[in-house]
Structure 1
Amino acid sequence: MSYSNGIGDRMQVSNPIAPASASQTRPAEAKTAEAQPAGRTGTDAATLSPTGELISQALGGSDVRSSKVEALQKAIADGSYNVSSSDVAGKVMDSLLK
């Protein structure tokens, strides 16, 4: 194959996509062995920034507000928990209209 360099000279290219010689390529095992420093076992580790740590704690926590749940359980147990009938009717109507 030949091509022009734009000035009129012709240059000869025998194989523009020649395979790499055996001395230029190495097996994948050799590459990974060289990439790891001596004494490393190949385990990965990650650290979080302080902001990331706060987000992780917030997402890992529970949405249950135990003090409120305990207060409601106590009110139900001693019979002092009252719900307005109009509130119940309003919620029923809202759920039916959705």
Structure 2
Amino acid sequence: MNEFLIKLEPEVTNDIQEGINWYNKQQQGLGPLFYVEVRTAFNSLKINPYYQIRYDKVRCLPIKKFPYMIHFTISEKENLIIIRGVFNTSDSPEKWKRNK
């Protein structure tokens, strides 16, 4: 089976940077660790993206070691995973639905 390609919606870069900035303020070195965990999760999605659908057609993958979830959809025709957001699990569900 071929790996899926990953496409980030424009806001996702900001989501990740906000997380990095917040964790850097909490403890030196924690921001880069957060980024590594996000990238690791992206890489695992390339191999197996079939996680539970949470709302609309959006699936979610929890990030290990951090209270964040990757929100994404799958285009099987294009062999593509579209990352819709990387949100803190305490964020409002309305924020999660920004990219329907």
More helix by share: 1
TM-score, length-normalised on structure 2? 0.20
More strand by share: 2
TM-score, length-normalised on structure 1? 0.20
Larger CA Rg, structure 1 vs 2: 1
